[in-house]
């Protein structure tokens, strides 16, 4: 009696020819001289996978409607085990994607790796960068808090300034003339269905081309004895010969290159998770479409552009709003087709170097200016650094309480100043007081903020924020907390 064949490598080999797959995918020869800069592409891919997984889990808790979106995120952060970290990872991962994709692009640009034969793959890469930004823009709205609402309001109005089609584009994005429920479902569908489908398609294409064409050999190797231009008749032959030489005795994709990629990818993920655990993701007060005093801020990677728009005179604004992105996109897309010199290293390309310095330097200056102007203080008026819970409490305080109470040098006069309240009361006392002041002072003119006005979670956040108020900045007051609570028999009104 013969035993049934067990699925082993022979079993798969006969059916799928694993060996040749392995040869073409893993045993690929790579040119020598690859640097750590060459790991940025795979790190971007790793973060994309991280975003896909965390996004899929977030979608299990998220409710894409203006009535429930904000609450569903509060629930996730407050009640779901590791919910805060999960959202933090997705938030920091989004920024990491942009940083890594840009750095990867700068590397490809600086090594002239977009030149023959990789022109098409550069174009795919530019498309991928556009999709990453579209993910950022659509994802920003989903928490439906103040910054989400107002930043999207500004973003969609900028789209609306495009001459001719602008109005139609804005209506298409918003799902109507106003930003509302339609906008949210539309952005959600874009963020979780359309954009992922598009990006998976382009990533697939990008990878297929990378496997077919291999990684570009170092610039110095490709430049040696090269014809002056990449569209010269003999360039292709020169290229094949040099690449063949560069690969001889070079590293293999598996395990040499993969190991280096894995180090950088793991480090990146560790940094993202670390930031998520320490910082979490921002969440402000729920969106209030009537609060036109709110100063909206886009995600940081749109800030240089936002700052630029602030600098140009009003009459030029729509020209710049449309002109600059269009110019950048066309330049990037056209780059491999008009730059056909065979020089690859940035050292031999003064114009390219000047362009890169101008774009990166200009963006950095604008970003710096923008951050300097609008950095929201992340410490209390007493100079205590605030956690995300305390920051949420500060937001609620500014909405509900600042009208009657002075903190620092802002606020209304009706109630007592609270700048040093944290030296006199602990958070438990503050929580009970805010919930029902009349239990403590029957004549109190302060109304009760217990549910339904504020939820217990919000009261707790406000109470925690108040404990950070320990007198004016730079002054150290003695702590004198001796909290007394009313008798339990006191009727609760
Ligand atoms: C309508 C005006 C008004 C609003 C709004 C208001 N308060 Fe008050 N608050 C008062 C007045 C008046 C007092 C003093 C009377 C008392 O102590 O009961 C007071 C007292 C307090 C005290 C006690 C101060 C002390 O030194 O014992 C705290 C703490 C406090 N408020 C916090 C808050 C918080 C937090 C909010 C927002 C959730 C808030 N207040 C909203 C008017 C207001």
From first to last of its 493 residues, the chain has per-residue pLDDT tens of: 555 666 667 888 999 998 998 888 888 888 988 899 999 999 999 999 999 999 999 999 999 999 999 999 999 998 999 999 999 999 999 999 999 999 999 999 999 999 999 999 999 999 999 999 999 999 999 999 989 999 999 899 888 888 888 889 999 999 998 999 999 999 999 999 999 999 999 999 999 999 999 999 999 999 999 999 999 999 999 999 999 988 888 888 888 899 999 999 999 999 999 999 999 999 888 898 887 767 788 889 999 998 998 888 888 888 888 899 999 999 999 999 999 999 999 999 999 999 999 999 999 999 999 887 775 666 778 777 787 788 889 989 998 999 999 998 888 899 999 999 999 999 999 999 999 999 998 889 999 999 889 999 999 999 999 999 998 887 778 888 888 888 765 555 4
Instruction: Using DSSP, state whether 91 is helix, strand or coil.
Output: helix
For position 162, what pLDDT does the model report? 81
Instruction: Using DSSP, state whether 25 is helix, strand or coil.
Output: helix
For position 375, what pLDDT does the model report? 55
- Calpha distance 100→40 (Å, rounded): 6
* Residue in the block written with tokens 């362009």: 355
Mutate to test the pocket of ligand 1, among 405, 424, 433, 483 (most ligand atoms within 8 A of CB): 405
Q: Which residues of 105-127 are buried (b: 16+ CB within 10 A; e: fewer)?
A: bbbbbbbbbbbbbbeebbbbbbb
- The CATH superfamily of 378-493 is Cytochrome c-like domain (1.10.760.10)
Mutate to test the pocket of ligand 1, among 400, 404, 420 (most ligand atoms within 8 A of CB): 404
The number of the ligand 1 atom at minimal distance from the alpha carbon of 443 is 18
The number of the ligand 1 atom at minimal distance from the alpha carbon of 445 is 12
CA of 155 from ligand 1 middle (Å) equals: 38
Mutate to test the pocket of ligand 1, among 437, 458, 469 (most ligand atoms within 8 A of CB): 437
Per-residue tokens: 127: 């498309």
CA of 471 from ligand 1 middle (Å) equals: 17
For position 8, what pLDDT does the model report? 64
CA of 416 from ligand 1 middle (Å) equals: 7
Helix (DSSP H) and strand (DSSP E) numbers for the chain: 20, 0
CA of 433 from ligand 1 middle (Å) equals: 8
CA of 62 from ligand 1 middle (Å) equals: 35
For position 238, what pLDDT does the model report? 95
Nearest CA to ligand 1 atom 43: 446
Please provide the DSSP assignment of 71-86 as one string.
HHHHHHHHHSTTHHHH
For position 2, what pLDDT does the model report? 55
CA of 444 from ligand 1 middle (Å) equals: 8
CB-CB contact of 110 with 343 (8 Å)? no
Nearest CA to ligand 1 atom 36: 401
Nearest CA to ligand 1 atom 7: 446
For position 385, what pLDDT does the model report? 77
CA of 415 from ligand 1 middle (Å) equals: 5
The number of the ligand 1 atom at minimal distance from the alpha carbon of 397 is 37
For position 25, what pLDDT does the model report? 87
Which fold would CATH assign to domain 32-374?
A: Cytochrome Bc1 Complex; Chain C (1.20.810)
CA of 382 from ligand 1 middle (Å) equals: 19
Mutate to test the pocket of ligand 1, among 416, 453, 466, 469 (most ligand atoms within 8 A of CB): 416
Task: Give the residues surrounding ligand 1 with Cβ less than 6 Å away.
Answer: 397, 400-401, 403-405, 414-416, 418, 421, 430, 433-434, 437, 441, 444-446, 449, 462
CA of 403 from ligand 1 middle (Å) equals: 10
With a CB cutoff of 8 Å and minimum separation 6, the contacts of 145 are 70, 283, 284, 285, 286, 287
For position 242, what pLDDT does the model report? 93
CB-CB contact of 48 with 206 (8 Å)? no
Domains 32-374 and 378-493 share a fold: no
Please provide the DSSP assignment of 259-275 as one string.
HHHHHHHHHHHHHHHHH
Nearest CA to ligand 1 atom 24: 416
Q: With a threshold of 0.75, does the pTM exceed it?
A: no
CA of 73 from ligand 1 middle (Å) equals: 29
CB-CB contact of 181 with 65 (8 Å)? yes
CB-CB contact of 466 with 427 (8 Å)? yes
With a CB cutoff of 8 Å and minimum separation 6, the contacts of 19 are 13
The domain locations on the chain are 32-374, 378-493
């Amino acid at each position: 009696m013969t035993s049934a064949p067990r699925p082993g490598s022979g079993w798969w080999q006969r059916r799928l020819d694993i060996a040749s797959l392995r040869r073409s995918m893993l045993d690929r020869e790579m040119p020598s001289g690859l640097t750590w800069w060459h790991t940025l592409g795979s790190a971007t891919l790793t973060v994309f996978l991280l975003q896909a997984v965390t996004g899929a889990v977030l979608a299990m808790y998220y409710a894409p409607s203006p009535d429930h979106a904000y609450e569903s995120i509060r629930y996730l952060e407050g009640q779901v085990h590791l919910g805060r970290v999960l959202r933090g990872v997705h938030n920091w991962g989004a920024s990491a994607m942009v940083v890594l994709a840009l750095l990867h692009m700068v590397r490809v640009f600086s090594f002239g790796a977009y030149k023959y034969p990789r022109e098409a793959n550069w174009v795919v890469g530019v498309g991928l960068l556009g999709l990453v930004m579209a993910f950022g823009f659509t994802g920003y709205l989903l928490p439906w808090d103040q910054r989400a609402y107002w930043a999207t309001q500004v973003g969609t109005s900028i789209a609306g300034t495009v001459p001719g089609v602008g109005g139609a584009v804005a209506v298409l994005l918003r799902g109507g003339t106003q930003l509302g429920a339609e906008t949210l479902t539309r952005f959600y569908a874009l963020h979780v269905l359309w954009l992922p489908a598009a990006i998976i398609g382009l990533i697939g294409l990008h990878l297929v081309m990378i496997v077919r064409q291999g990684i570009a050999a170092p610039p110095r190797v490709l430049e040696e004895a090269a014809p002056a231009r990449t569209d010269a008749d003999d360039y292709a032959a020169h290229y094949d010969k040099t690449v063949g030489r560069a690969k001889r005795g070079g590293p293999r994709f598996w395990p040499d290159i993969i190991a280096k990629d894995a180090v950088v990818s793991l480090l990146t993920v560790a940094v993202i998770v670390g930031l998520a655990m320490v910082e979490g993701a921002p969440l402000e007060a729920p969106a209030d479409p009537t609060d036109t005093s709110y100063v909206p801020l886009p995600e940081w990677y749109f800030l240089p552009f936002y700052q630029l728009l602030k600098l140009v005179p009003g009459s030029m604004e729509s020209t710049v709003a449309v002109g600059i992105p269009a110019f950048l996109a066309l330049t990037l897309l056209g780059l491999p087709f008009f730059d056909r010199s065979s020089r690859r290293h940035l050292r031999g390309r003064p114009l390219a170097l000047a362009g890169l310095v101008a774009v990166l330097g200009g963006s950095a200056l604008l970003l710096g200016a923008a951050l300097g102007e609008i950095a929201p203080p992340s410490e209390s008026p007493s100079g205590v650094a605030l956690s995300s819970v305390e920051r949420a409490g500060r937001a609620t305080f500014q909405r509900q309480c600042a009208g009657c109470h002075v903190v620092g040098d802002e606020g209304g006069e009706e109630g007592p100043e609270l700048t040093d309240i944290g030296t006199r009361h602990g958070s438990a006392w503050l929580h009970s007081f805010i919930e029902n002041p009349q239990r403590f002072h029957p004549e109190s003119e302060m109304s009760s903020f217990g549910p339904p006005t504020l939820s217990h979670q919000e009261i707790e956040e406000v109470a925690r924020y108040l404990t950070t108020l320990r007198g004016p900045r730079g002054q150290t007051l003695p702590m004198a907390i001796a909290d007394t609570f009313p008798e339990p028999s006191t009727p609760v009104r």
